[in-house]
Amino acid sequence: MKFNIVIIDDHPIVLLGTKIVLEKNSTYKVTGTFVDFDGLETFLNDNTCDLIITDFSLPNATLDGLNLIERIRRIYSDIPLIVLTSLQNASLVLKSLDYGVSAIVEKSEHINELMNSIKKVIDGEVYISPFFTKKIADVSLNAGADLLSTLSPKETEVIRLLSAGMSPNDVATKLCRSIKTISWTKVSAKRKLKITSDAELYQYAKEIL
């Protein structure tokens, strides 16, 4: 019996490579590959799958980051979700796990880690790869990460996008929010992080996120 998998990633080479590797195991069948959530949603309107694998960051999509994870878990709560990502921030990893992610693997790790994660998920376990296990262990030593944990998912997304060079207008459009909301979210994040200037906020985000 085939185990049907779908993959979301904004890099076609990653989609193709992951599909080829997974299907070397005769048990696995990649039934869909998509560059954004919209493609996944359209597919699952008429089809089913046993597992979703997604990247965390899809900068050109309408949904990415924690918003993407939250949407997938809310709509497809019965389908296990693995995050395969180049994300390296432990606090965001922990937030993803809070949303119900079944496994998380860093893209630079050996492909065996992805295969291990799938096996663990099939067995009903939560799997965190060695890379992220170490990152999470180091979080308690990082005061910045402790402060970061006080931010809401919305605040985290806003400062991450702003620090990546997006304008407030672009962020508002991407997150379907008003510019005023984005501004207030930024102010709230600065207050929680005990930061007074935008420049310091963006530098902090680049180092921590």
**pLDDT tens digits, one per residue of 30-76:** 999 999 999 999 999 999 999 999 999 887 777 878 889 999 999 99
Alpha-carbon distances of 182 from 156, 161, 165, rounded to whole Å: 11, 11, 14
- 164: number of Cβ within 10 Å: 15
Would you call 127 helix, strand, or coil by DSSP? strand
φ, ψ of residue 150 to 5 degrees: the values are -80, -15
Q: What pLDDT sits at residue 146? A: 61
**Please, are residues 91 and 145 in contact by the beta-carbon 8 Å criterion?**
yes
Residue in this structure with the two tokens 């997974």, named with its chain if needed:
22
- Cβ atoms < 10 Å from Cβ of 146: 12
pLDDT tens string 180-194:
899 889 988 888 877
Rounded CA separation 137/134 (Å): 5
Q: What gap in Å lies between CA 15 and CA 54, rounded to an integer?
A: 10
Return mean pLDDT, the chain: 87
- The CATH code that applies to domain 143-208 is 1.10.10.10
Band (pLDDT 50/70/90 cuts) for residue 24 is very high
Confidence at residue 144, expressed as pLDDT on a 0 to 100 scale: 56
Q: Do 18 and 43 contact (CB within 8 A), yes or no?
A: no
Quote the distance between the C-alpha of residue 44 and its chain's center.
20
The per-residue pLDDT for range 125-171, each reduced to its tens digit, is 999 999 988 877 765 445 555 666 788 888 889 988 998 888 999 99
Give residue 78's pLDDT.
Answer: 94
d(CA 102, CA 162): 29
Q: Where are the domains of the chain?
A: 3-139, 143-208
CATH number of this structure's domain 3-139: 3.40.50.2300
E-assigned strand segments in the chain: 3-8, 28-34, 51-54, 81-85, 103-106, 127-128
